[in-house]
Amino acid sequence: MVSKKRSNAAERVQRSTATAAAAAAAAAAAATASSTQGKKRPGKQTKGSGGCDEADDKKSASKTDSAAKKPAKDPTGSSGASTATTEGGAGNGGGKPTTSTSTSSTSSATAASASASASNSLKLSPEERHEDGKARAINKMLKSLDIKIHGFDNLLPSGEERLHDRVLHCIFASSEILKSIDVTVDPCDDFYGYSCNQWIKNNPIPEGKSTWGTFGKLEQMNQLIIRNVLEKPAKSFKSDAERKAKIYYESCLDADEHMEKLGAKPMNDLLLQIGGWNVTKSGYNVANWTMGHTLKILHNKYNFNCLFGWAIGEDDKNSSRHVIQIDQGGLTLPTADYYNNKTDNHRKVLNEYIEYMTKVCVLLGANESDARAQMIGVINFEKKLANITIPLEDRRNEEAMYHPMQLRQLSKLAPFLNWTDHFDNAMQMVGRRVTDDEVVVVYAPDFLKNLSDIILKMEQTEEGKITLNNYLVWQAVRTLTSCLSKPFRDAYKGVRKALMGSDGGEEIWRYCVSDTNNVVGFAVGAIFVRQAFHGESKPAAEQMIGEIREAFKMNLQNLTWVDKQTREKLSRRPTRSRT
């Protein structure tokens, strides 16, 4: 039972001013809305983590999609584990009141100073931690956080407009905080529960989602905005790019069910182009089939990432030149542990993966028992790949991973493929020839050497060649099942459920909005900005960017690892930004 004193404290918290509550919301948002983006090679894993906003639903692993052509410094070539979360209100995720440092775009020198002042103000005296002082302690936290919003005063409108806008924002922020906090919890004992319990209670994870939070809700709101615009008449769009986005979106919706009527035909047509598939008996002849020919089509024409990945990018040690970069291809499942049955969950995922493979093969016309047996052969081959794939923890030293060599040297290291012919074929579309003298950068030479040993041995037997064909074609098939009719799309739900705790079902229009944004993002971005923003935020954003630049220049003087010459050059660079 909540004590009378604690109830009194709760009542006093609810009587806190709207300005103080809004300030707490602003501070919490700044503390939890950090984002970082660094240069990463295609296929490299990135993990997001939240602060107070997030509460574990269950640990989940995201599906590996190794279709990206560029080489990955991530050994899996895929997305890794993700945590199902529910995001909440105004806390920072700890068990005691603390402050967080935000790296979001709203940072500025003024705000940083104000944040430091707020941090000092949050230190509670011993008597304030006493039962009788809890109400005053809570109010002190809220009032001290009010400093944060004053740090951004110069970004707000002036005069009556400024006052009116601020009052509205304060009312909204106060409402959001009061709906999120749990006043029955002592914030000195459990600040996370105090800040987020009510939000979690009022926002259960939706069906089909493995994670949920304030950013998830915001994403759904943005999807609705984009949908409403994309469904307007074509004449309302301002450019060909935007009209193409509308066409793509409508094609994805498939209102006339053209995709459903085609069924497996598009995939079966592709199988014939890439030399057939032994599982479905569609044009495959083991005597005439060569791995090199199939790899050319999958890599160079369709951009499927099988066995290894490659791309053209800036040389890590000479940014003025571009080179071919080659890396290990990654695994279909998130980590090698899933193939080695390390836990009951790993075994469950692997069994669901085999079921998924078998279902897709049957949809393409294969016999179920024969397809299952051949797909188990593919799994066994993937286990071999898992055992030679270099784990992420052994790929921290990028300097040690950098191995430049000529293609003739690579051919000696990994003779399972005619590398010069492979890349010469790829460059035909741009009219460039590749010779044995071409210098490439290899990031996983040990992997390629071990891969070569495995493949050369398999190619000596008919069974081995069939397994190689099944594996390579499967990589294309699994990548494209999401583009086929509903039975193909539904086949993956079991794997996703085992990996993520959710089958990922969502309304088709939401999927199509996301897919359109992934494919023609610049056009969708222009549509969204024109619909959601009306110019008022641009001056504020420009001012924030300017202050971030000034803060960077100030901090630059304290970075001891930056040499003097570089520091001087950075200080002389113009601060004007293009928007």
Instruction: Assess whether pLDDT exceeds 80 at residue 488.
Output: yes
Domain presence at residue 158: yes
What's the whole-number mean pLDDT along residues 422-431?
94
Q: Do strands 318-328 and 81-86 pair parallel, antiparallel, or not at all (unpaired)?
A: unpaired
- Whether the predicted model's global pTM rises above the 0.85 cut: no
Same domain for 298 and 160, yes or no, is no
The mean pLDDT value for 13-25 works out to: 41
pLDDT above 70 covers a percentage of the chain that reads 70
Parallel, antiparallel or unpaired: strands 318-328 and 439-442: parallel
Q: For the segment 370-408, what is each residue's pLDDT rounded down to a tens digit?
A: 999 999 999 999 999 999 999 989 999 999 999 999 999
Q: Are residues 275 and 372 in the same domain?
A: yes
Domain boundary (204, 235, 251) is at 204
For residue 177, the model assigns a pLDDT of 86
Distance CA 568, CA 565 (A): 5
pLDDT value of position 507: 87
CB 290 within 8 A of CB 478: no
For residues 3 and 131, is the Cβ–Cβ distance under 8 A?
yes
Tokens found for residue 455: 């493949």
The answer on pLDDT for 476 being more than 80 is: yes
pLDDT-based confidence at residue 84 (cuts at 50, 70, 90): very low
Q: Is the pLDDT of residue 42 over 60?
A: no
Question: What is the DSSP code string of 15-37?
Answer: TS-HHHHHHHHHHHHHHH-----
Q: What is the dihedral of CA 349, 351, 355, 356, to 10 degrees?
A: 20
Domain boundary among 204, 222, 242: 204
Quote the number of domains for the chain: 3
490-515 pLDDT tens trace = 999 999 888 888 777 778 899 899 99
Same domain, 432 and 578: no
| pLDDT category of residue 38 using cuts at 50, 70 and 90 | very low
| Cβ pair 80, 334 in contact under 8 A | yes
Task: Determine the pLDDT at residue 176.
Answer: 83
How many Cβ atoms from other residues are within 10 Å of residue 149's Cβ?
24
**CA nearest neighbour of 334 among 72, 67, 75, 64:** 64
Average pLDDT, the chain: 77
Highest average pLDDT, of 106-120, 443-457, 486-500, comes from 443-457
Asked if 268 and 408 sit in the same domain, the reply is yes
Q: What is the SS3 assignment for 123-167?
A: CCCCHHHCHHHHHHHHHHHHHHHHHHHHCCHHHCCCHHHHHHHHH
CB 176 within 8 A of CB 18: no
| Same-domain status, 570 and 479 | no
Neighbouring CB atoms inside 10 A of 180's CB total: 27
Domain boundaries, position 199: 4-35+50-61+86-204
Statement to judge: residues 315 and 395 lie in one domain: yes
Q: List, for residues 153-171, the tens digit of each pLDDT value.
A: 444 445 555 566 667 878 8
Highest mean pLDDT among 69-83, 129-143, 207-221, 516-530: 516-530
Q: Note whether 297 and 198 are same-domain residues.
A: no
Query: CATH code at 395?
Result: 1.10.1380.10
**Residue where one domain finishes, among candidates 185, 204, 223:** 204
Q: Are 426 and 458 in contact (CB under 8 A)?
A: no
For tokens 């891969």, name the residue: 451
pLDDT number for residue 569:
80
Residue 68's alpha-carbon distances to 43, 267, 268, 311, 430, in angstroms, are 6, 19, 22, 9, 20
Strand 308-315's sheet: what is its strand order?
Answer: 308-315, 318-328, 439-442, 403-406
